Amino acid sequence: MPPRKLTAIDPERARYKIVRRDNFVDVPGLIMAANVDTGLCLLRDANGVSQEHKFEPDGFAIVAARR
């Protein structure tokens, strides 16, 4: 079962990705922090820029990323 919360200190956070629950589209970026219960996630893109995304509570899912 995937976690419902990840932080920057979680060593396996690169194994997961964020998927929106409303349209099932991946939100690109490395997870820096994510909490499904609050709907907040912080992702870092390939250029090293971090961006915060705000969804409804349970508005996204943390799922295993296939690499």
What string of pLDDT tens digits covers the 67 residues of the chain?
889 999 999 999 999 999 999 999 999 999 999 999 999 999 999 999 999 999 999 999 999 998 6
Neighbouring CB atoms inside 10 A of 26's CB total 11
What is the pLDDT at residue 49?
96
pLDDT of the residue at 66:
81
Fold of 5-64: SH3 type barrels. (2.30.30)
Which pLDDT score, from 0 to 100, does residue 59 have? 96
DSSP letters, 2-58, are --SEE-TT-TTGGGEEEEETTT--EE-SEEEEEETTTTEEEEE-TTS-EEEEE--TT
Would you state the pLDDT for residue 1?
A: 85
